[in-house]
Amino acid sequence: MAGYEGKAFKWVGTRPVRPDGVDKVTGRANYGADQNLAGQLTGRILRSPHAHAKILSIDTSKAEKLPGVKAVITGKDFPQMHRGVLPGDEGVNFHYLSSNIMARDKALYDGHAVAAVAATSAAIAEEALALIDVKYEVLPHVIDVDDALKPGAPLLHDDIFTTGVNPKPDKPSNTVQRVHMALGDANAAFKDADIIVERSFKSKTVHQGYIEPHAVVAEWCEDGQARIWCSSQGHFMVRALTARLLNMEVAQVRVMPAEIGGGFGGKTIIFIEPTAVLLARKAERPVRIVMSRDEVFRATGPAPGSSIDVKIGAKKNGMLVAAVGEFRFQAGAFPGSPLGPACMAAFGPYALAHVTSAGYEAVTNRPLCFSYRAPGAPLASFAVESVIDEIAQKLNIDPMEMRIMNGSKEGTQMVYGPKLKAVGNLECLKAIKNHPINKIPLGPNQGRGLAAGFWFNLGGQSSAVVNIAEDGTATIMTGSPDIGGSRASMALMAAEVLGIDYSKVRPIVGDTSAVGFCEITHGSRVTFATGMAIIQAAEDVVLQCRQRVAAMWEVDVEAVVWEDGHARPAGANAGEQKPLSLAQIAARAARTGGPLVGKAAINAGGAGPAFAVHICDVEVDPETGGVKILRYVASQDAGKAIHPSYVEGQIQGGAVQGIGWALNEEYIYGADGRLQNSGFLDYRIPVASDLPMIEPIILEIPNPGHPFGVRGVGEVGIVPPLAALANAISRATGVRMMDLPMTPPKILAAIDAKK
Amino acid sequence: MSGFQYEAPATVEAAVGFLAGAKGNARVLAGGTDLLVQLRTGAANPDLVVDIKRIGELRQISGNAASGFVIGAAVTGAEIGEHKELAKAWPGFVEAMELIGSTQIQGRATPGGNLCNASPAGDCTPAMFAAGVVCVIAGPNGRREAPVEQIPTGPGKTSLAKGEFIVAIKLPARAKNSGDAYLRMIPRTEMDIAIVGAGVNLTLDASGACTAARVSLGAVAPTVLLVDAAAKALIGSKVDDAALARLAAAASAACKPIDDKRGTIEYRTKVAGVLARRAAVIARDRARS
């Protein structure tokens, strides 16, 4: 790997127009629902109206007889998967995955798919759904995580035996797992504390709220191959899971990535693709399924609700002594809740000698709880940062100074194993400390809240190809869906290494048959890991160019250097050669060894953890409980911002989603276990007028694990806002909100209760 | 959504003919901002939909502040918002109409539709209650008029008989030194549905004493409420703090709300008083200016 430290970048760090931008603003870009094949049918899914019910029978005969209906399927049409997790499956329980996509003997939540039809029109498909007769035996259900953990709670599965406890239980329960990680001995260390604050927090399920509903077009071919067009955060994931669930060989499934209208973690798993393939196979025609918004809310993978206890002890001067977090996370109807990541991230901003981070995950009669931007961390951080703030209030010390005093930094031992390398926690804190917002005086009913956040970020497997055209322009291809401007970042990094203009580089997201394997776009990994693959593929091209020029000049390859897009003699000994541009070398490719193709396939380690610190000012209406956000500033360490505008977009987007989570977003269930707000009217994501300017501050503390110093930026921005808002509201009103979301009725009730 | 008969007549008489002759369930389509959503979700399954937007007289605003305005039932929020004289005379009514939905919705939504959707949480309806709007209703027996508060009878239900529909709403002649206001509580700043709404319309005499008042509340009962006791708290007063406190108490006392996903009984009852008081202050200040 070439050394880039101290190098002045030409392209990295600039803000060019995104390569996918024009197609998006003109409407030319193809999203999941935009694919159209000849003879395509409309697929629709029948969903359970019950939270928990035994499926006694499904009679599809009337639907099948309806003119225009070409296929009807139920759980019986899906291959039976092995029960449990097989070695080599990386913890994926394919029986559960398949059963979530189409219910088998039981419907486990309101919205659980029980049958599907493909018909020549949407109206006929809808009519056919109404003709399917499902006989249910309704069972008692459980929605809340604390209820689900209780002995005697309605049991969802007969094969969940809690893992991580000793002895291993001999009876099934809803409790999926016990996670426990610790440093030192927190419980013993509390005796050294001058102050101990212990609080309990609750939160509700929230949805990622991506604008594009899940959509797929599937085609079954007579030779046993399937082709799938869909928007996802990983078409290789779609291919692998679909193939496995349908007992197909992986290479017989080809998945074409569409543009994606938002994912935020919610499109890192499949919900409808195997259904579309089975319908297409049965109907012998292509099938398109597009979820409605109601289906997206009821039957995709929102973030879990939680129940959390946090206990933190400190000295009078604010030095932390010990901390314990007990995190109880909902899974949905199947395991998959991000409990482990929450335990890892909870205390990330603090250097603690004695800390325990532990919890339980329990299945509930809800849709699968899955990944949402820094999965689990916002909830854990909300609880921890609220308690830290309360300690600062009780000790009457500055919450900023308390965080700086205890801040994690290079060398800090993390509870989940590693010691931190160079990170930007203290820099993020100091950037907020020195921001002018702190000098703005607050009026009546106003408060200022501060919170820090941590996310460990991921690396992983990525492939990249750099194809040099005959004129020296480049097409670069990866298999990483672009959910946040990553194509622009890939093109900038390739332009930097190749030494050619950004405009000469066209970045493409290749399909599963066109490019090497790439893991899903998650964990803020793409600009880091896939970017590293792009850098190496471009370096591969540069090396090939130097080799070809060396052969032309009849010198050793070491005698040819690559500078500013040209091969040049390394020094006088290499001879008086005129520099050759990439275009000139490309023009001679046929005579010098054939096409110029650079490749890289890597498993990137060294992802640098991300830190963020947010501060906000709010005003609370003491008579209605309404919260107005007056000002908001967010600092974040990007390592190196490849395209600063898109880093700022990630910071702002994370903050806005966190604000929605803090104030209004929640799944609301009735006593019948049915979701009452499966639409954007009563599931309240923030609208533009709810928000002040979110002022982003990018800090660049290089990640030693990346050639350009990049660390992931996509997720940590959603971690601090929940507590930043709660802390600001606490200081504005004198009441501490420990139950999310902090809606006007809840805040007013808390204010009135204090009077 | 299953199929239905769609008609777009050009006259009131033709519309009445379709509605009166309908076999099964008939619905009137103005802006469609509620009806189209109900069709998509399956909440409405009409056999006949009569679109009234092509009837010329339903698309006009006539009259003036002194004589009273007549607003056709298919006039949109955007058109109401652009009518300067109307906005000057009835700022509370106009603001209430303009609170509904987004810019795009404003291009479609109508006050008549808001009234006949008969949601207790509709924003324009409380403002019309406070304003003392009279509805012009066409039906098989010709035209009749009815006070606005007689139209909604429960969530989604109106007093309109088969074949009847609203062709216009009439705002009364505006006395001088009058003002109106409407406020709602929503968790967001726009694009939302009221947890509580309150409308106040009042007239002051030369001394600043309140001679007439109407107070309405939204989302605290099965229909929008006209709260006489709250109006009485203002009449005869200078709309001072003591009167405002009595108004707030009377408004809260009139609430018969439910607990639901949007708010609690306790919250709605309390905030109804708060919003009525705040709306009265705005209306008073407008009347004074």
Cα–Cα distance for residue pair A333/A155, rounded to 1 Å? 10
The residues, ordered by sequence, that sit 6+ positions from B107 with a Cβ below 8 Å of its Cβ are B76, B77, B78
pLDDT at position A6 over 90: no
Maximum Cα–Cα distance across chain B: 61
pLDDT score of A576? 87
Q: Are A494 and A559 in contact (CB under 8 A)?
A: no
Average pLDDT over residues A583-592: 97
CB B210 within 8 A of CB B234: yes
Q: Kindly determine whether residue A748 and residue B270, on different chains, have CB atoms separated by under 8 Å.
A: yes
Q: How confident is the model at residue A260 (pLDDT cuts 50, 70, 90)?
A: very high
Specify the CATH number for the domain of residue B245.
Answer: 3.30.390.50
CB contact under 8 A, A127 and B2: yes
Q: Are residues B190 and B135 in the same domain?
A: no
Chain A environment of B188 (Cβ under 8 Å): 664, 684, 686-687, 689-690
Could you give the CA distance from residue B263 to residue B255 in angstroms, rounded to a whole number? 13
Query: Domain check: are B149 and B254 in the same one?
Result: no
Put simply, the answer to whether A687 touches B2 (Cβ < 8 Å) is no
Report whether A546 contacts A605 (CB < 8 A): no
Q: Are A608 and A706 in contact (CB under 8 A)?
A: yes
Same domain, B83 and B150: yes
Q: Which of B39, B123, B185 is most worth mutating to test chain A (most A CB atoms within 10 A of its CB)?
A: B185
Query: In 10 A of CB A567, how many CB atoms?
Result: 27
Using a CB-CB cut-off of 8 Å, the residues of chain B touching A668 are 261
Q: Which residues of B lie inside 8 Å of A (Cβ-Cβ)?
A: 1-2, 41, 185, 187-193, 195, 261-264, 266-267, 270-271, 274-275
Tell me how close the Cα of B42 comes to any Cα of chain A, in angstroms.
11
In this prediction, what percent of chain A has a pLDDT beyond 70?
99
Residues B280 and B204 in one domain: yes
Q: Any CB–CB contact under 8 A between A690 and chain B?
A: yes
Q: Do B264 and A676 touch (CB under 8 A)?
A: no
pLDDT in tens, B3-34: 899 999 999 999 999 999 999 999 999 999 99
Say which residues have a Cβ less than 8 Å from residue A755's Cβ, sequence separation at least 6: none
Residue B86 pLDDT > 60, yes or no? yes
Give chain B's radius of gyration (CA, Å): 19
Domain limits for position B15: 5-51
Kindly determine whether residue A626 and residue B195, on different chains, have CB atoms separated by under 8 Å: no
Task: For residue A324, give how far its alpha carbon lies from the nearest alpha carbon of chain B (Å).
Answer: 34
Q: Which residues of A624-646 are buried (b: 16+ CB within 10 A; e: fewer)?
A: bbbbebbbbbbbbbbbbbbbbbb
Q: Do B182 and B237 belong together in one domain?
A: yes
pLDDT at A88: 86
Is there a single domain that holds both residue B164 and residue B187? no
d(Cα A715, Cα A650) in Å, to the nearest integer?
8
CB A461, CB A237: distance < 8 Å:
no
Main-chain dihedrals φ then ψ at residue A558, nearest 5 degrees: -65, -20
Question: Do residue B214 and residue B240 come from a single domain?
Answer: yes
Q: Which domains, and CATH codes, for chain A? A: 40-139+214-290 (3.90.1170.50), 306-457+608-754 (3.30.365.10), 459-604 (3.30.365.10)
Least CB–CB distance from B185: residue in A126, A624, A664: A624
Where does B88-190 show beta strands of DSSP type E?
Answer: 134-139, 142-147, 152-154, 157-158, 165-171, 178-185
Q: Read out DSSP for A130-186? A: HH-EEEEEE-----SHHHHHSTTPPPS-SS---BS-SSPPSS--SEEEEEEEEES-H
At A182, the amino acid letter reads A
pLDDT value at position A257?
Answer: 98
* Predicted local distance difference test score (pLDDT) of residue B2: 66
Q: Which residue has the higher pLDDT, A90 or A205?
A: A205
Rounded Cα distance between A212 and A204, Å, is: 23
A179/A164 Cα distance (integer angstroms): 6
The burial class, CB within 10 Å (0-12 / 13-18 / 19+), for B196 is buried
Contact between A116 and A76 under an 8 Å Cβ cutoff? The reply is no
Q: What sign does the dihedral A529-A530-A532-A537 (CA atoms) show?
A: positive
Residue where one domain finishes, among candidates B137, B171, B205 = B171
- Judged by CB atoms closer than 8 Å, whether chains meet at B187 and A687 is answered as no
Residue B193, pLDDT > 50, answer: yes
Average pLDDT over residues A71-94: 94
Interatomic CA distance for residues B88 and B66, integer angstroms = 12
pLDDT digits (tens, 9 = 90+) for A306-318: 999 999 999 999 9
Q: Which two tokens stand for residue A371?
A: 């990944």
Assess A130–B contact: CB distance below 8 Å, yes or no: no
Answer whether A127 sits within 8 Å of B261, measured CB to CB: no
Sheet of A505-509, strands arranged across: A505-509, A474-478, A460-468, A596-604
- Asked if residue A455 lies in contact with residue A713, where contact means CB atoms within 8 angstroms, the answer is no
Residue with tokens 């020195």, as numbered in its chain: A434
Specify the CATH number for the domain of residue B87.
Answer: 3.30.465.10
Pick from B134, B153, B171: which residue ends a domain?
B171
Residues of chain B with pLDDT > 90, as a percent, come to: 98
For chain B, say whether A626 makes contact (Cβ under 8 Å).
yes
A319 CB-side CA count, 13 A: 8
B233 membership: H or E segment, kind and range: helix B228-234
pLDDT for residue A574 is more than 90: no
Q: Is the pLDDT of residue A2 over 50?
A: no
Examine the domain organization and report whether B60 and B167 are in the same domain: yes
Q: Is A663 on the interface with B (CB under 8 A)?
A: yes
* Nearest neighbour of B187 by CB, restricted to A123, A664, A749: A664
Could you tell me if A604 and A529 are in contact, meaning their C-beta atoms sit under 8 angstroms apart?
yes
Q: Is A709 left (phi over 0), alpha (psi -120 to 50) or beta?
A: left
Interacting residues of A53 by C-beta distance below 8 A, sequence separation 6+ = A106, A107, A136, A137, A138, A139
Name the percent of chain B in helix, strand, coil, to the closest 5: 35, 25, 40
Tokens representing A382 are: 């909300």
In this complex, which of A624, A682, A687 lies closest to B271 when CB atoms are compared? A624
- Locate the chain B residue with the closest alpha carbon to A743: B187
pLDDT tens digits, residue range A261-284?
A: 999 999 999 999 999 999 999 999
**For residues A301 and A293, what is the distance between their CA atoms, to the nearest angstrom?**
13
Q: Is any Cβ of chain B less than 8 angstroms from the Cβ of A205?
A: no
Q: Quote the tokens at residue A125.
A: 């498909």
User: Is A677 within 8 Å of B261 when comparing Cβ atoms?
Assistant: yes
Q: State residue A575's pLDDT score.
A: 81
What is the mean pLDDT of the segment spanning A379-399? 98
Residue A1 scores a pLDDT above 50? no
Question: Rounded CA gap, A230 and A35, in Å?
Answer: 8
pLDDT given at position A573:
79
- Of A102, A94, A58, A53, whose CA–CA distance to A77 is shortest? A102
* Confidence at A3, pLDDT banded by 50, 70, 90: low
Tally of domains within chain B: 3
Q: Residue B219: its chain A contacts at CB < 8 A?
A: none
Per residue in A473-495, pLDDT (tens digit) is 999 999 999 999 999 999 999 99
The whole-number average pLDDT for the span B84-109 is 96
A123 touches chain B (CB under 8 A): yes
Is the CB of A689 less than 8 angstroms away from the CB of B2? Answer: no
What is the C-alpha to C-alpha distance for residues A528 and A702, in angstroms, rounded to an integer? 12
What's the one-letter identity of residue A211?
A: I
Cβ contacts of B27 within 8 Å, gap of 6 or more: B35, B44, B46, B48, B49, B50
pLDDT given for residue A89 in this prediction = 87
* Closest Cβ opposite residue A687 in set B190, B264, B271: B190
Phi, psi for residue A713 in degrees, rounded to 5 = -125, 0
Give the strand pairing for B210-218 and B196-204.
Answer: antiparallel
Q: What is d(CA B200, CA B216) in angstroms, rounded to the nearest whole number?
A: 6
If asked whether residues B203 and B256 sit together in one domain, one would say: yes
CB contact under 8 A, A744 and B2: no
Q: Is A753 on the interface with B (CB under 8 A)?
A: no
Name the β-bridge partners of A569: A560
Share the mean pLDDT of chain A.
97
Considering only CB atoms, B189 lies closest to which of A668, A689, A743, namely A689
CATH number for the domain including B10? Answer: 3.30.43.10
Contact B188 A743 (CB under 8 A): no
Judging contacts by C-beta atoms under 8 Å, the chain B residues touching residue A745 are 195, 263-264, 266-267
Q: What is the pLDDT of residue B30?
A: 96
Same domain membership, residue B145 and residue B88: yes
b/e sequence A207-220, b meaning 16+ C-beta within 10 Å: bbbbebbbbbbbbb
Q: Do A123 and B195 make contact, defined as CB atoms within 8 angstroms?
A: no
Give the one of A126, A684, A752 whose C-beta lies nearest to B188's C-beta: A684
Task: Report the mean per-residue pLDDT for chain B.
Answer: 96
Res. B57 pLDDT band, cuts 50 70 90: very high
A553, containing H or E segment:
helix A531-553
Residues B163 and B188 in one domain: no
What is the β-pairing status of strands B48-51 and B5-7?
parallel
Interface test with A, best of B188, B244, B259, B264 (most A CBs within 10 A): B188
Strands A226-230 and A253-257, by their bridges, are parallel
Q: Which of B81, B76, B199, B195 is nearest to B133 (CA)?
A: B199
B189, B193, B220: best to mutate for the A interface, most A CBs within 10 A: B189
What is d(CA A636, CA A753) in angstroms, rounded to the nearest whole number?
Answer: 37
**In a shared domain, residues B209 and B183:** yes
